[in-house]
Amino acid sequence: MATPSLIRYINQARVLRLLKDRGKLSRAELARFLKLTRSTLTFVTGELVEKGLVIEAGQSSVAQPTGRPGTPVKLNPDGAFFLGAELAAEYIHSVLINLEGSIIYRETVELESRRPEPVSEELVRMVERIWSHQLKGSQRLRGLGVSVSALVDSQGVIRIAPTFGWNHFDMKGALKSRLDLSVFVENDANGAALAELSFGRRVGQIDLCVLRLDVGVGAGMIFDRKLFRGSDGLAGEIGHLTFDPTKLAQAEGWGFLETQLGRNGLLASYRRVGGGAKNLETFLRDLRTEKPLAQKTVKAWGEWLTLAIRNLADLFNPQLIVLSGSLAELFPFVEENVKTRLRQRCFPTVEKLAIEVSSFGKDSSALGGAALVYDQILSVPDSNFLEDLVPSSA
């Protein structure tokens, strides 16, 4: 049953969502958009102002019924902070964002061990360091989101992380036992999809897919502005689509899409044709200097990318596919050919499809972690962020 406390709680989340999407609005505009009475809206915004989440922002140009301009309100940038971390094989990259979604601090630390306990300890130290030095002990840090290239279930348990050699590691539990914060752990592609939804160039895009291209290959999918996780939180493993069943018995698993489209597959393909790149940076250098073998390799890689995009388009029919991860840098070299191949197919699922490279660059995965926490703020009705606004008796 919807109690008065729950209704107030939901309305507060709705106000925050609208201010996030639209910027500053007068109370009259908020009431009209949200279909609330003026008195209800005034009460709701009053509580948010009291909590420091919303501030007044000067006068609005929209005249009120009395003929006087209304005083708009907006999100208080310093009203809350959210920490996101990308957990990669060699490092942890973290970003701190404010309530407006702006990155106000970032740092990268190298990992000395890939074992779960030392990695968790480094994450704890990172949180404590940023909380102490950047936020000066502020109680407005609302949580930590960790984005990792792994199969992560709905409970925050890392089921399989090939990069680290982990199986069934409860990272969320390990971090929560040490931190007095909300903690979220998610697959990196899912996190990147939330980052695009919340902060990307097309904020609020209803249906989109993020194709994460790195050592691993995965997809994060947003439908009706919500992340699609699947029954156990394991959806989106497009890198494990089978394209050649005859090769699945090989030790390398070369029947999977990831073995051709992922970073290791790309570099292995380059070596097979005589290229000498030992890492992605060297391959990119060869590509930019127009070495024929690098151009040949990236062209073949583009065919696999086209296959991945076609599968995503056919299965989910998104409005937008965003390419993220270290290999997204290759897209400009194959963009024309990929789009030509898609047009030649003349299938309805790709007629209106937009394909873009993420604007977040190296921050993408870490920002995805922060988005995991940020998304909880504005979710209705399952937000953890506003629980302190609901009396414990509710």
Local confidence band at 224 (pLDDT 50, 70, 90 cut-offs): confident
* Mean pLDDT on 372-392: 59
- Is pLDDT of 392 > 60? no
Average of per-residue pLDDT values in the chain: 86
pLDDT of res. 163 = 84
pLDDT digits (tens, 9 = 90+) for 184-219: 999 999 999 999 988 987 765 678 999 999 988 999
Strands 151-152 vs 158-161: parallel, antiparallel or unpaired:
antiparallel
Evaluate the omega torsion of the peptide bond into residue 381 and state whether it is cis, within 30 degrees of 0: yes
pLDDT 10s digits, 320-369: 999 999 999 999 999 999 999 998 876 888 888 999 999 999 999 999 99
Question: Would you state the pLDDT for residue 387?
Answer: 44
More confident residue, 242 or 340: 340
SS3 call for 331? helix
**Which residues lie across from 108 on neighbouring strands?**
93
Closest listed residue to residue 78, CA positions, set 96, 100, 57, 56: 100
Joined tokens for residue 45: 């915004």
Q: Residue 69: pLDDT above 60? A: no
Grade residue 375 by pLDDT with cuts at 50, 70 and 90: confident
Neighbouring CB atoms inside 10 A of 165's CB total 10
pLDDT in tens, 89-117: 889 999 999 999 999 999 999 999 999 99
What number is the average pLDDT over the span 283-306? 96
> DSSP string spanning 2-28?
--HHHHHHHHHHHHHHHHHHH-SEEHH
To which residue do tokens 């007068």 refer?
Answer: 26
Q: Please give the share of the chain, as a percent, with pLDDT higher than 90.
A: 59
In this predicted structure, the answer to whether residue 9 has a pLDDT above a threshold of 90 is no
pLDDT, mean of residues 298-304: 96
**DSSP string for 209-261:** EEEEESSSEEEEEEETTEEE--TTS----GGG-BS-GGGTTSTT-TTBTHHHH
Q: Which residues contact 226 (CB under 8 A, 6 or more apart)?
A: none
Distance CA 239, CA 258 (A): 4
- Strands lying side by side in the sheet with 54-56: 25-26, 72-75, 54-56
Q: Residue 86's pLDDT is what?
A: 95
